[in-house]
Structure 1
Amino acid sequence: MFAQIWKCKAILGYLSDDKCTICLDDESSDLNIVELLTASDELVLTDLVDYIQEHIISLNKEWIPKFTLDSTIISFEQSLMISSWIDLKEGTLMYTSQQENPYNLLLLLRGSRHGFGVEEFREKVFNQGPTIIVIHIAGSKDIIGGYNPLDWTGSNKFNQSSESFIFSFRSDKRSSITTLSRVIKEKSAISDDDGHFIGFGHGDLKVFQGVCQRKDYMCPIHESPSFQIFDYEVFKVVKKEF
């Protein structure tokens, strides 16, 4: 009963003040915070959701693994696949459960919630450490994305990496195809631009330009060299504390 009262009190306080002034340190248990985040997301209280997620990220506590994946684009199984690729695991060595998975994916940005512009990317994603970008391509069920093990900073230069990769999950009525494309030209792995050239390689995946043409990675991730975004998400990759 206390948890329900606290949750209602927090949401009503937010609505009445039109800002986030609730305290998440003292009377809020771990479970309460999880339930408050879920309720706020269902009510589309964007600022409150952002506030709670920033609080969670700042804590980086042991209970973070209890969180379910907050994505409207990728499935839980696909998130395990991406986590496996981060650790160079493929085939029978891939993670099959959240208990095995050493990472949590915390949502930083969703286009349909926060906006699709470069400005929103700068505000939500810059200087957050390793991230995963996933894009739902308009007019299809296809998903493309990439992993950046470095910070996005807007340095307007290419950052070197041997660990970055891009990928796709494609499906039609007959089959599903998964593509993993690791970097081969490490010096141009990450296009750390401050504007519309943000992405991977010289064109392997440019988020805001809608380009995915193989240049610096092993193979193309989509049949077409261009795409339009239906929605996209960016996740902060957080290492669990076991």
Structure 2
Amino acid sequence: QLDREVIARLHEWGVKDKKAGIDARIIFYGPPGTGKTLTAHSLSRSLKRQVLSFDCSKILSMYVGESEKNVRKIFDTYADLTRQTKTEPILLLNEADQFLSSRSSGVGSSADQMHNQMQNIFLEQIEKFQGILIATTNLLENIDQAFSRRFNYKIEFKKPDQKQRLTLWKMMLPKNAPYAEGFDVEKLSTYPLTGGQINLIVKNTAYQVAARAEGSFRLEDFISEIQKERSGSFEGEKSVGFLSH
């Protein structure tokens, strides 16, 4: 849609109105740390556009009517920025799970009714939106069908395989740091981590190593941080109960 020849064909075929702008409403979905937000910012750089970003988890308000106002404010802010800058930034809605989740049916509680009302406003705004909108979410299967139909593209971000993890480790490991003899980066790639987790582990390990008098990176330093990250991760099932003595 950014190519003039493509646009000319779409106009000729009657698929796109000549007054209409870009129509790209996109969902990036997949586990945390797989690069959804990073890709949105990378896309903005390649298109030479600004990003107007909102954290949707912070939009929901405990006060009656505030959430609806906050939803409208997202799109009003976008419209104001577009008018002032005479450009169309990319609208990025991070962690949009709550906005896009299936709406409650029936009477329900007052909280359910308010949530449905907020989602109806969000649906209405998406319907009218022209430009590039990217919503990130962890779970596509929970998305309401009414929302799913409004998005042109649904792009899945999967966890990296071992070959991809090896590339990520090599990219993220400090280039100018000393490494212990026998340091094997391929061993690190065997752990099933996301790019976001690898990035965090590299930073945390660097802080630990830099604090030592002998500051070389050892394999066990990384493995220790990997174990901490995996034990503290909220992914997967955790056992909950009482300790018996």
Name the TM tier (shorter chain).
Answer: under 0.3
If the length of structure 1 is used for normalisation, what is the TM-score?
A: 0.23
If the length of structure 2 is used for normalisation, what is the TM-score?
A: 0.23
- Larger RCO (CA within 8 A; separation ≥ 6): 2
**Structure with greater proportional helix content:** 2
**Structure with greater proportional strand content:** 1
Higher-Rg member (1/2): 2
